[in-house]
Structure 1
Amino acid sequence: MNSGYQQGRIFLIAIVPEFSLQYAALPKAIKKKFTRQLTHLKDNPKHNSLRIHKLKSRDFWDFCVT
């Protein structure tokens, strides 16, 4: 899939087993929002709705779902 975001960076989205268990218990509406935000992250990490920010002292980033 060709995205509009091209900055020469490669990033990895890692989903740990603990998340998968918690995700399974979420309401459908939250799962839908998560999927939409994950698509935004993949296609355009600078999308305003993500409110993305780097975690302190780490090379990890955080984004908002709700």
Structure 2
Amino acid sequence: MNEIVLTERLKGDFKSLPVTIQKKLKKQVKFLAENPKHRSLQIHRIEGTRYWEFYVDIAYRCVFRQEGDIYYLLAVGPHKIIDEFSRK
């Protein structure tokens, strides 16, 4: 199983999410730990960066960085959160 590291930023973002999205994120993080190739994650690189994203649902994304079997979850929020990381 892969190791999941929650950053302080992600923890703060999580608290501000609607409860339904919090539940969906927990489910997706479980998939990430057990099987990063799970279809519902739809993982892909944020173009031109070292960051990756996965779908929480149709409107929410989680941004992460991977080092081997360790996934650092950096932020979660509406799709526009990707813009913040595409400039880094």
The interval holding the TM-score normalised by the smaller chain is 0.5 to 0.7
Higher strand share: 2
List structure 1 runs of 4+ shifted beyond 4 angstroms: none
- Other-structure match for 1:63: 54
Matched letter for residue 56 of structure 1: E
Gaps of 5+ in 1: 4-10
- Other-structure match for 2:76: none
Is residue 22 of structure 1 aligned with residue 22 of structure 2? Answer: no
Kindly, what percent of the aligned residue pairs are identical?
A: 33
Cα offsets for 1:3-49 (capped at 9, x unmatched) = 5xxxxxxx654432122112112121111000000011111111110
Q: What are the equivalent positions in structure 2 for 1:1-66 lying under 5 Å apart?
A: 13-66=4-57
> What CA distance in whole angstroms lies between the structure 1 residues aligned with 2:19 and 2:28?
14
> What CA distance in whole angstroms lies between the structure 1 residues aligned with 2:46 and 2:3?
15
TM-score between the two structures when normalised by the length of structure 1: 0.68
Gaps of 5+ in 2: 58-88
RMSD: 2.0
Say which one has the larger Rg. Answer: 1
TM-score between the two structures when normalised by the length of structure 2: 0.53
1:40 counterpart SS class: helix
